[in-house]
Amino acid sequence: MKYLHNIGVYFLMIKDMFRKPTKWSVMRTLILKDIDDLIINSLGIVAFISFFVGGVVAIQTSLNISNPLIPKYLVGFATRQSIILEFAPTFISIIMAGKVGSFITSSIGTMRVTEQIDALEVMGINSLNYLVFPKFIALSLYPFIISIAMFLGVLGGLAACVYGGYGTLEDYIEGIQTDFIPFHIVYAFIKTLVFAFLLATIPSFYGYFMKGGALEVGKASTTSFVWTSVVIILANYFLTSLLLG
C-alpha cells in the first residue's frame, strides 16, 4: 500500500511541478544554475568513465576472439554496439543516478530540513515549480552528455585497440562502420530522454517529501539512488522490448 501511495504522490508532484509558474526572470537563473550543476559538472566524470570503459570493451572483445574465421573488424563493431545501445544511455544513467540524483535529493532534502521550502510556500511560491522544474529543463540537455559518452567510448575503444596492439586502425574503423543502423541512435536518445525525466523527478521526490533531520537526508539520498536505478533498469527493459523487440 505504501508503494502505491508513493507512486500516487509522485504523479501528483509531477502535475504540481507545472502549476503556478515562477517568474521567468527568476526561473531563467535557476535553469542556468542547474545546467551548470547537473550537466556541465558531470562532463568530466562521464568523459573519463566512457573513454576507459570503451577501451576495456575493445580489449575484452579482442581477447575473446580466438577463432581465426571471425573477422578482426568485429572488435570495432562490438564496441560501437555496446557503447551506443547500452553503455552510454543506460549505464551512464545509473552513474548519474548516483552523482546527480544524490545531489538533487540532498540539496532539496536539506532545504526541507532547514525550513527553506516552508519559507518559499509562506511567500506564496509554488516550491515544486521553483525547485523541480528547473532541474527537469536542465536535464533535457542530458542527451548532450550521452552523445559525448558515445563518442568518447568509441574513441577509447579505438585508442585501446590500436595503441594496445589488439588490432589495426583500419579494422577498427571498418568495424564501427559495418551494419550501422541509424535507428539505434534514435533508440538510444529516446531512452536517454526518458532516463533524464526519471533522473530529475525521482530524486526530487525523495528530497521534497523527506521527513526528519540530517541523518534522514543521507538515508533519502541512498533510497533515491536505489529507486532511480531500479526504475531506469525497468524502463530500459520495457523500452528495448518496445522499440527493438
Nearer CB in complex with other proteins: 124/182: 124
Question: Per-residue x/- marks for other proteins, 16-35, CB under 8 A?
Answer: ----x-xx-xx------x--
Q: Which range in 42-50, 107-115, 206-214, 223-231 contacts other proteins by CB under 8 A?
A: 107-115
Q: How far is the CB of 194 from other proteins (least distance, A)?
A: 29
Q: How far is the CB of 119 from other proteins (least distance, A)?
A: 4
Task: Tell me the Cα Rg of the chain.
Answer: 21
Verify binding: residue 115, other proteins, rule CB under 8 A.
yes
Helix, strand, coil shares, percent, the chain, to 5: 85, 0, 15
CA distance 74 to 133: 44
Closest alpha carbon to 54 in 75, 71, 31: 75
**Contact with other proteins (CB under 8 A) among 16, 86, 121, 216:** 121
Nearer CB in complex with other proteins: 25/66: 25
Q: How far is the CB of 130 from other proteins (least distance, A)?
A: 9
Instruction: Say how many CA atoms lie within 13 Å of 34 toward its Cβ.
Output: 27
Q: How far is the CB of 4 from other proteins (least distance, A)?
A: 19
Grid cell 530522454 — which residue?
193
What is the four-CA torsion angle of 187, 188, 191, 193, rounded to 10 degrees?
-110
**Contact with other proteins (CB under 8 A) among 41, 64, 114, 222:** 114
CA distance 226 to 93: 13
**Contact with other proteins (CB under 8 A) among 60, 94, 95, 110:** 110
CB 187 within 8 A of CB 89: no
Q: How many residues bind other proteins (CB under 8 A)?
A: 18
Burial of 108 (0-12, 13-18, 19+ CB in 10 A): buried
**Contact with other proteins (CB under 8 A) among 124, 165, 182, 245:** 124
Nearer CB in complex with other proteins: 95/125: 125
Residues that bind other proteins (CB under 8 A): 20, 22-23, 25-26, 33, 110-111, 114-116, 118-119, 121-125
